[in-house]
Amino acid sequence: MVLPKRITVSLASFLLMILLGGCFVGSGDMRAAGAQEAVTTTSAPISVSQAAILIEPALIASTTIAQAQPTVLTATLLPPTPDLTGVPLHELSIATLRNATYPGSEFVFEQTLEAGSNYNRYVVSYLSDSNKIYAMMTIPWEARPATGYPVVIFNHGYIPPEQYRTTERYVAYVDAFARNGYIVIKSDYRGHGSSEGDASSAYGSAAYVIDVLNALASARLYPDADPNRIGMWGHSMGGYITLRAMVADQDIKAGVIWAGVVASYDDLFQSWFRRGTSPSPTPNGRTSWRTQLVEQYGTPDDNPAFWASLSANSYLADLTGPVQLHHGTSDDDVPFQYSVTLEEQIQMAGGSVELFLYNNDDHNIATNRDNALALSVVFFNQHVKGAYG
């Protein structure tokens, strides 16, 4: 078994943080967001340093082998692609996601926000299942490449929908990619903030994945975006969305997942009971996704083909883009073993993957955030943009 890697603080990483000191500065840009998965909570205008932040791989911190052996999860290490003969296709199934169409729409520029240091910021909207969905969008100031700017579709983690605001949360994260020449699109998801539609349980409904796939389609329609250079980033619930989107749409060039809910549905059913302070992403008054699915289809032991049909992990052989995983070993919301197992599953499926574990770090990778962001930017530069810088 290939053991995962973890970031260690070294002279190189210290120099990196000095170099990037201005990159991650924003009003209210705090490390943790209490009981929520998002890291930034400000609604005040961001103030960004003018310091250059083009990242060279030589400045990235060294890696060492993690000492702790991962816990073995309940499901088969590499779930077989399910035989769906006679299995009714549920809205959550990967087959259903693949069979659907995602037309997206042209972006409507709703509001111009204060600019970043080398990019413009907007609130835009697009259509998903006839719902008007709002998103944060950044556009670089640098000259438009001949084929258009590379794009990062940015999938946020769980935030109570009634508290969500398009211009808040993840300010430093969006800034890191925007300052390096990417169009960044951070979708609200339906039912969040002012976006139309009903919020749902991410794990019991395909709605948020559909919203992201329509954002992806909308990005491909945008004339200044390069439709062939689009990557996807996701945190926690957003990591779950990212993995599902990547097995549904094989033209996504690369994915980066932080603290992702990336276990199979069998494992989620058997082992995932949220231990931390984050609230459950099932809206109040609704039956949990476990209860709903068991009542209709039985448990994973009763109906393994059905549960396998829901899992992106069953389709990892179809991944066409590389995946980078980040996880703190003291994450109390999503077990880091989920990322360890996904790394092994992708390797067994013949895919390209790298994993960084951060000893004693939390669900937000708060202590090592700058290192993890730097690694994420370099990964996208290599696999999406096509060249460093």
> What angle is formed at CA 273 by the lines to CA 373 and CA 249, rounded to 5 degrees?
50
Region of residue 228 (phi > 0: left; psi between -120 and 50: alpha; otherwise: beta): alpha
Element (H, E) at 307: helix 304-310
**Which phi and psi angles does 219 have, rounded to 5°?**
-60, -40
pLDDT at 15: 41
Query: Model confidence over 176-203: pLDDT tens digits?
Result: 999 999 999 999 999 999 999 999 888 9
Q: How far is CA 357 from the centre of its chain?
A: 16
pLDDT at 96: 95
**Which phi and psi angles does 15 have, rounded to 5°?**
-65, -35
For the chain, the structural domain boundaries read 5-385
pLDDT at 292: 83
Mean pLDDT of the chain: 80
The percentage of the chain sitting over the pLDDT mark of 90, rounded to a whole number, equals 63
pLDDT at 80: 60
pLDDT at 16: 46
Query: Model confidence over 327-372: pLDDT tens digits?
Result: 999 999 999 999 999 999 999 999 999 999 999 999 999 999 999 9
Domain 5-385 top-level CATH class: alpha beta
Q: Is 80 exceeded by the pLDDT of residue 51? A: no
Q: Which of 16-30, 161-175, 289-303 has the lowest mean pLDDT?
A: 16-30
Interatomic CA distance for residues 243 and 237, integer angstroms: 10
More confident residue, 7 or 131: 131
Give the best-scoring range by mean pLDDT among 72-76, 86-90, 378-382: 378-382
Q: Is 50 exceeded by the pLDDT of residue 62? A: no
pLDDT at 26: 31
The total of other beta-carbon atoms located within 10 Å of residue 60's CB is 18
User: What is the three-class DSSP state of 232?
Assistant: strand
pLDDT at 90: 86
Interatomic CA distance for residues 264 and 75, integer angstroms: 7
The percentage of the chain sitting over the pLDDT mark of 70, rounded to a whole number, equals 73
Query: Model confidence over 240-292: pLDDT tens digits?
Result: 999 999 999 999 999 999 999 999 999 988 887 644 444 444 444 345 877 88
Which among 233, 271, 224 has a CA at the least distance from the CA of 252? 233
CB 224 within 8 A of CB 144: yes
Q: How far is CA 189 from the centre of its chain?
A: 13
CB 306 within 8 A of CB 90: yes
pLDDT at 78: 64
Residue type, 128: S
Q: Is 80 exceeded by the pLDDT of residue 44? A: no
